[in-house]
Chains A and B, each alone.
Chain A
Amino acid sequence: MESLQRKAQELLAAGTVKLVIGYGEGTGVRRRPIFVRTGDQAGSLVLDPACTQNLATYLTKAEVRALGRTALVATPSTLRSILQLAAERQVREENLLALVPLAGTIKELTTFADIEAMVATLPDEIARADQEMLTQLGAMSVVERRAFWEKELGRCVKCYACRAACPMCYCERCTMDNNRPQWVPVASHALGNLEYHVVRAMHLAGRCVRCGTCGAACPHGIPIHLLTFASEGSVRRQFGQPGGASSRPTYALATFKPDDKEDFIR
């Protein structure tokens, strides 16, 4: 933690970066993102296992971009998000510096190649609890699953916190905000909720890095991250092209193989 604060001070003092995005103390045991612009603010930076939010979501904000070169405290998921954003031309190498806590020190990664190399060494698994939930849901019948999601999504109030938290939801005009035509109704009733979350999960297929921040952000504790895990899992299983693997575009749904295996088309 101290080394992180020191590192942030150094970077800011030297003018290497104009902004350091990291974690600070939040309410109770939570952590929240903080934006350190001067050396004396660096003391607010914390680093502990509760720091799990994917901070890459701020890299695409106009306010952050306007400030200049940014350093970012990066978890493994954050690194993957950075690569996926790079593949989608949303971040540039020269504007970014990743700060990776590694064995007591803070490693600086300044190129996408370095980030790719680091990511290749990191495990790529989802949390045990989530894996178990997915298995449970998979074992249910279609009707049972319908009932499960109807109950869960019934609590959604369309606050769009999940969308705001996701690094890959950076579209300035989200398709949900479109009203000509209005594919997905805005009000928080059951149909609109279902359509919104299905659409979001499809838009993330092949791009999601499975950080789970969307589920963590939901104020009603709806496990919506399971939906994106499901669509991303489907892409991995069938095409082997996961999101966040490379800074070069490899979007699974923009490519195809002539012999993609399908058994459901007559």
Chain B
Amino acid sequence: MAEPFEPKLTAFVCNWCTYAGADLTGTSRIKYQANVRVIRLPCTGRIDFMMVLKAFARGSDGVIISGCHPNDCHYTSGNYHARRRWMVFRDLIDFVGIDLARVTFSWISAAEGAKWASLVNETTDRVRALGPYQEIGKLAAAGIE
């Protein structure tokens, strides 16, 4: 019998808020599912949309992007720039037929340890229900990667 499908999630988080919030989740010993791999960045402003495409191309079934709440960015405005970028990127990838349900955006502050856990759990459950993300992955399989 085949192994039950366990989704692979990649999370792009900012160092000052969401990463710290995830640390708080750990300090508070709140459990969540182990499907996520966190990539630490100084700020959500650093997130290039090419990284999101790459995550899917490398076999992620879902992507989480999370940073500081508006007005709280450690670098003042990185998250505002990121937000604008996502507003356009989201429309574009929806236009080319990439399933937006697999991309989750959130603002999580350093105090919101519980929110990080619930976000990961909720996203994992949702992506598990959606199934493996074949669309991009199969394109990769067809190619050289």
- Interface residues in chain A, defined as those with a beta carbon under 8 Å from any beta carbon in chain B: 137, 142-150, 175, 183-185, 187, 189-192, 194-195, 197-199, 201-202, 205-206, 227, 230-231, 234-235, 238-239, 252-258, 260, 262, 264-266
Picked from B53, B81, B91, the residue with its CB within 8 Å of the CB of A253 is B81
**Residues of chain A with a CB closer than 8 A to B49's CB:** 198-199, 202
Q: Chain B's interface: helix, strand, loop or mixed, by majority?
A: helix
A-B contact pairs, 19 of them (CB 8 A): A146-B97, A150-B97, A189-B144, A190-B143, A191-B57, A191-B139, A195-B57, A198-B49, A198-B92, A199-B50, A202-B89, A206-B88, A230-B91, A231-B88, A234-B88, A235-B88, A256-B80, A256-B84, A264-B100
Contact A253 B95 (CB under 8 A): no
Q: Chain A's interface: helix, strand, loop or mixed, by majority?
A: helix
Contact B80 A254 (CB under 8 A): no
**Residues of chain B with a CB closer than 8 A to A256's CB:** 77, 80-81, 83-84
* Docked pose: A150 CA to B97 CA in angstroms: 9
Contact A264 B107 (CB under 8 A): no
Kindly state whether residue B106 has any CB partner on chain A within 8 Å.
Answer: yes
Contact A187 B144 (CB under 8 A): yes
- Give the B interface residue count (CB, 8 A): 41
Contact B97 A192 (CB under 8 A): no
* Min distance, Cβ A254 to any Cβ of chain B, angstroms: 7
* Docked pose: A92 CA to B140 CA in angstroms: 43
* Min distance, Cβ B116 to any Cβ of chain A, angstroms: 11
Given contacts A183-B50, A183-B54, A191-B136, contact A265 B105 (CB under 8 A): yes
- Interface residues in chain B, defined as those with a beta carbon under 8 Å from any beta carbon in chain A: 49-50, 53-54, 57, 70-71, 77, 80-81, 83-100, 104-107, 119, 135-136, 139-140, 142-145
Contact A234 B97 (CB under 8 A): no
Contact A191 B142 (CB under 8 A): yes
* Min distance, Cβ B9 to any Cβ of chain A, angstroms: 15
**Residues of chain B with a CB closer than 8 A to A143's CB:** 97
Contact A201 B87 (CB under 8 A): no
Nearest-CB residue, chain A, relative to B71: A258
* Docked pose: A230 CA to B93 CA in angstroms: 10
Given contacts A148-B97, A189-B143, contact A234 B87 (CB under 8 A): yes
Contact B143 A262 (CB under 8 A): no
